[in-house]
Amino acid sequence: MDKLHVVKIGGNVIENQETFLDFLKDYAGLKGRKILVHGGGKEASKIAKKLGVSVKIIGGRRVTDTNNLDIITMLYGGKLNKNIVAQLQALGCNSLGLSGADGNSILAEKRPIKSIDFGFVGDLKEVNHSLFNLLLKEEISPVCCALSHDGNGQLLNTNADTIAASLASAMTPYYEVHLNYCFEKDGVLKDIDDDKSVLSSMNKMQYNLLKSKGILHTGMLPKLHNCFKALKEGVRFVKIGNPKMITENGSYTLITN
């Protein structure tokens, strides 16, 4: 089976232009089939402020009303996605940007309203593996932004970590899939106050133990949840680390069952 790298790059990395260009060079140099999933970063809030659109964050999550969705669509689907693709083309990597609506690549449903209405936020339903297979066979690397659609004309703001994990899982019948979560740290930290306390690996038992002790950064919990889910669904390797980890020189935590 051929290898497929699914690489998620976080907003914090995207914001530092130098680090990000460096990452894109490494990514373009990564051999074989690959898919890039990118987050957004803080520019959405900056643009919202300039446009006079109010931003509401509840429990660390953005409430996505129509105006905020427009901003996200402009920024993630437009400016970020198109510039990433243009840079990758310049680096010799034939890539193609996708929102979930494009080629019906990622279908979701609007999150049901419980205690809080998060607005136009999508819970993932289905990845269109045929489209990804079509592009990958032609050596075209998809670049996915954090937008899905509901099939009824509505775009939905969708967690990029979850998109990466679901994409990775969906491609396991066709490829040996490697899922890489790149962010601003060197991996999962044993001590959140010590950036050097990187775990070289972590299994489900250790995860449960650290979680019960309240030692893990709360932001890591959904990411790790996605990792274990992906492993369970047949993804071969899952790593969390700094952007350099897609080369031989990076630091990361290997997540295992």
Q: Tell me the Cα Rg of the chain.
A: 17
Cβ atoms of 4 and 129 closer than 8 Å: no
**What is d(CA 18, CA 150) in angstroms, rounded to the nearest whole number?**
36
Asked if 66 touches a copy of itself (CB under 8 A), the answer is no
Of 130 and 247, CB closest to a copy of itself: 130
> Which position among 29, 56, 138, 173 is part of the footprint of a copy of itself (CB under 8 A)?
138
Residue 63's nearest CA partner among 113, 143, 117, 137 is 117
**What is d(CA 223, CA 60) in angstroms, rounded to the nearest whole number?**
14
Of 60 and 92, CB closest to a copy of itself: 92
> Which position among 81, 162, 180, 226 is part of the footprint of a copy of itself (CB under 8 A)?
81
Residue 201's nearest CA partner among 171, 230, 244, 237 is 237
Asked if 153 touches a copy of itself (CB under 8 A), the answer is yes
Asked if 82 touches a copy of itself (CB under 8 A), the answer is yes
In a 3-state reduction of DSSP, which class is residue 62? strand
Asked if 77 touches a copy of itself (CB under 8 A), the answer is yes
Asked if 40 touches a copy of itself (CB under 8 A), the answer is no
Minimum distance of a copy of itself from residue 36's CB (angstroms)? 13
Asked if 45 touches a copy of itself (CB under 8 A), the answer is no
Of 93 and 202, CB closest to a copy of itself: 93
Minimum distance of a copy of itself from residue 95's CB (angstroms)? 8
Number of amino acids touching a copy of itself (CB under 8 A): 41
What is the DSSP code string of 93-107? Answer: --EEEE-TTGGG-EE
Paired sense of beta strands 106-110 and 33-38, if any: unpaired
Asked if 75 touches a copy of itself (CB under 8 A), the answer is yes
Asked if 147 touches a copy of itself (CB under 8 A), the answer is yes
- Point out which span in 99-107, 113-121, 175-183, 189-197 binds a copy of itself (CB under 8 A): 99-107
Residue 103's nearest CA partner among 82, 85, 79, 130 is 130
**What is d(CA 230, CA 240) in angstroms, rounded to the nearest whole number?**
13
- Beta-carbon count within 10 A of 24 CB: 21
**Residue ranges that bind a copy of itself, judged by CB under 8 A:** 47, 50-52, 70, 73-79, 81-83, 85-87, 89-90, 94-99, 101-104, 131, 134, 138, 140, 147, 149, 151-155
